[in-house]
Chains A and B, each alone.
Chain A
Amino acid sequence: MSGYSEGFWGAWRLIFTFDPELYEIIFLSLQVTVSAVIIASVIGLPLGAWLAVNRFWLRRYVIAVLNALMGLPPVVVGLFVYMALSRAGPLGGFGLLFSPAAMIIAQVIIITPLIASLSHQSIRDLWAEYHDLLISMNATRAQRIRALLWDGRRALLTATLAGFGRAIGEVGAIMIVGGNIEHVTRALTTAIALETGRGNFAFAMGLGLVLIVLAIIINLAIHIIGKTERASTW
């Protein structure tokens, strides 16, 4: 029990004295995840919008595959990325294994389906609403997609935040492809796993508190966006 409260107060001390080791890990995590979210959004948002406004015979299958990929266990993604990036793998030549880049690749694979699928749903609903109007006004394909992305921007931001939430809290995949190397690929989640095992509760809990605060902020933001959206159909 004393270890528990010691860990708790030690955690706050580390946070408020700006412990360099702690903050190094926080920044690495944010760097990796923000990069992954940006890349996944650049791929996922237009893909979602494109699937919403185009009818082609493979569309249903692409959507089914996206939904299936959303449920992919991250550990398995980690395994595949590891195999692809390892020396003998197809991308082994780039020497990316155990680097932040490898972690970004794994996170991109994990969250792109989520972002694409969420944005597809909301853009599809908006397109059903706007379809006749935009066709009647002779909007070109590009103009239609631009109008949908702009008017659906709140829903798209929500999709992006959901991707961030999933990526920042993920352990398995980045542990495998990053290797949890100190000062190089040690992220919030992998560091918590390691320090807990070592009995270094103050440090683990400090990181845990940061993770919790991040998760609360993300969910609050999603909630507020959703509320303004519903309250005003805006």
Chain B
Amino acid sequence: MVSILPLKLSAASAHMHGKRLLGPVSLTLGQNGLTVVIGPNGAGKTTLLRLMHGLQRCSGGALSWAVPAAEARQRQAFVFQAPIMMRRRVIDSLAYPLRLRGIGKGEARAMARASAARFGLADLLESRAPLLSGGEKQKLSLARALIIAPEVLFLDEPCANLDGRATREIETLLLCERARGTRIVMSTHDMGQARRLAQEVIFMHKGVVHESGAAEPFFAAPDTPEAAAFINGDIVE
């Protein structure tokens, strides 16, 4: 199967009610690896991820996958900053993306069980998803996104509000997923997490990509003073 990557953004921008939220942004997401998007609050991280995934309209410039957009959409998934829980049991929530793709009830449920086991949700299969704890909801969101075996996985601050242990659990699952060849693009406010996971970094500031590149040199010696200040935990003006 032809890869949906690379994703190319050329001078892409996003507007809402005439206000510029993002852009112009030009970048290429290559075939492999894990990209971490960082930057201060309101820098445009969420908007960039949503734009790439197609939840935010591209109001200027262009965005193109290696395959037609409709096909690319089928092969990516998104984990939201605030988990969206359907009013269903955990097993049905997990089976739902499969059911949408026309997979039979029995098969979908069997796959949901297998996925729940992998994500440590096996004991919660019959629980109501909206009643789970924050960490359990995040894991369910991740499991639900991965159950369709997407080629590209977007995550918007998947560990916000989680404690250290839950964060490590999610990180381990993400690294395992990366090892399977899933292309991961995630935003985070946790610089420790960014350093642990990132192979590639996108530093956003004021709605544009301020600096981007391989993770190691970026963290060792960022090119711009804003990026240096940000990774040191200083306030970025």
Contacts and interface: CB of A to CB of B under 8 A. Distances in A.
Contacts of A2: none
B196 interface: no
A223 to B, nearest CB: 19
A131 to B, nearest CB: 9
A17 interface: no
A220 to B, nearest CB: 23
A151 interface: yes
Contact of A137 (B87, B88, B100, B130): B100
B73 A138 contact: yes
A231 to B, nearest CB: 10
Contacts of A233: 87, 130-131
Contact of B74 (A132, A133, A138, A234): A138
Nearest to B78: A136
B100 A234 contact: no
Interface residues of A, number: 15
Interface residues of B, number: 17
Contacts of B73: 138
B156 to A, nearest CB: 10
A151 B100 contact: no
A91 to B, nearest CB: 43
B128 A234 contact: yes
Nearest to B148: A137
Nearest to B53: A136
Interface in B131-152: 131
Contacts of B77: 136-137
B103 interface: no
A129 B80 CA distance: 12
Contacts of B87: 151, 233-234
A138 B55 CA distance: 11
B131 to A, nearest CB: 6
B97 interface: yes
B112 to A, nearest CB: 15
Interface in B60-79: 73-74, 77-78
A232 interface: yes
A232 B131 contact: yes
A130 B84 contact: yes
B80 A151 contact: no
Interface in A21-59: none
Contact of B130 (A136, A139, A234): A234
24 contacts: A129-B84, A130-B84, A130-B86, A132-B55, A132-B78, A132-B80, A133-B80, A136-B53, A136-B55, A137-B77, A137-B96, A137-B100, A138-B74, A139-B100, A143-B100, A147-B86, A151-B87, A232-B128, A232-B130, A233-B87, A233-B130, A234-B87, A234-B130, A234-B131
Interface of A: 129-130, 132-133, 135-139, 143, 147, 151, 232-234
